């Protein structure tokens, strides 16, 4: 049996009530971590914590809107006080902030600000709070930022989102160098298109079929795909890896025939 070195470690996962974040929290618990789960939505968050506890680990639910000033620091401090420390932080909050894809010429200042705040600024605030806590503790640790394949290619209809995620990739590299002397590894991971309920509702059946046909491994992502990658990178198996963007997208970034989905037309 391989010892991943995660038993008894404390992990913090944001955006953890549903989808990828929920799967990450559950897989970290299976690997031996106690897990603090953070989300704005209280109802599904309670169910997610019960899944962590069903793995025999301590689970902590914290309802918070991380867009609020100081919220990230409060969540980190609360995790340390309640679970006895912090070793791993997974920053999973992102998305389009409730907005629809649109041509960049239709993405006004308010649109761009919302998307950049929801992705880059929120992730930066979490990294700052987590990095301060990990360096102060003096035992090293791991920060994992959830990025996107849209940061590696033209992101039609998602220009602000793709740019914000690309900025997270760069932030990850810089933090890996700044925090490395303290033994803190910083990584970015990216899933392929994952058919969460929100994503599935936005895509036609024809588009999904065309997308699957363009992916080298011929399948869409499941939340577990990224969760398992996070566990591997956060564990001792990934001990030599930092500053990297690692994609778990079934090879979608290699596709040259990715179907084009038109953004919302200009009005």
Q: Which two tokens stand for residue 266?
A: 């200009």
In the structure, how many helices (H) and strands (E) does the chain have? 9, 7
Q: Note if 111 is an active site residue.
A: no
Give one word for 191, left, alpha or beta, with left for phi > 0 and alpha for psi -120 to 50. Answer: beta
CA distance 95 to 41: 15
Half-sphere exposure of 5 toward its Cβ, with a 13 Å CA cutoff?
12
Q: How far is the C-alpha of 104 from the C-alpha of 53, rounded, in Å?
A: 44
Place of tokens 């867009």: 67
Return the SS3 of 64.
coil
89 phi and psi angles, rounded to 5 deg: -130, 130
- CB neighbour class for 221 (10 Å; exposed up to 12, middle 13-18, buried from 19): buried
Active-site choice (161, 192, 194, 234)? 161
Alpha-carbon distance of 235 to 56, in angstroms, equals 19
Taking every pair of Cα atoms in the chain, the longest distance, rounded to a whole number of angstroms, is 60
φ, ψ (nearest 5 deg) of residue 138? 80, 15
d(CA 55, CA 64): 24
- Tell me which residues are annotated as active site: 161
């Amino acid at each position: 049996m391989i010892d991943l070195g995660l038993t008894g470690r404390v992990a913090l996962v944001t955006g953890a009530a549903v989808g990828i974040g929920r799967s990450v929290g559950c897989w970290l618990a299976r690997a031996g971590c106690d897990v603090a789960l953070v989300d704005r939505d209280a109802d599904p968050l309670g169910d997610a914590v019960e899944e962590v506890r069903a793995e025999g680990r301590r689970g902590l639910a914290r309802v918070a809107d991380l867009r609020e000033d100081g919220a990230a620091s409060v969540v980190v401090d609360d995790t340390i006080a309640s679970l006895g420390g912090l070793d791993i932080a997974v920053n999973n909050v992102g998305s389009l902030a409730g907005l629809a894809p649109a041509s960049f010429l239709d993405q006004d200042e308010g649109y761009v600000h919302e998307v950049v705040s929801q992705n880059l600024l929120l992730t930066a605030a979490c990294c700052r709070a987590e990095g301060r806590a990990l360096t102060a503790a003096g035992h090293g640790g791991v920060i994992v930022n959830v990025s996107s394949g849209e940061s590696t290619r033209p992101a039609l209809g998602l220009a602000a989102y793709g740019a914000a995620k690309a900025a997270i990739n760069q932030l990850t590299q810089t933090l890996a160098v700044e925090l490395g002397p303290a033994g803190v590894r910083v990584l970015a991971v990216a899933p392929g298109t994952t058919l969460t309920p929100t994503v599935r509702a936005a895509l036609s059946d024809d588009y999904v079929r065309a997308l699957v046909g363009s992916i080298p491994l011929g399948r869409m992502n499941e939340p577990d795909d990224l969760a398992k990658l996070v566990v591997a990178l956060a564990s001792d198996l990934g001990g030599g890896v930092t500053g990297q963007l690692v994609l778990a997208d079934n090879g979608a970034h290699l596709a040259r025939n990715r179907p084009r989905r038109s953004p919302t037309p200009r009005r």
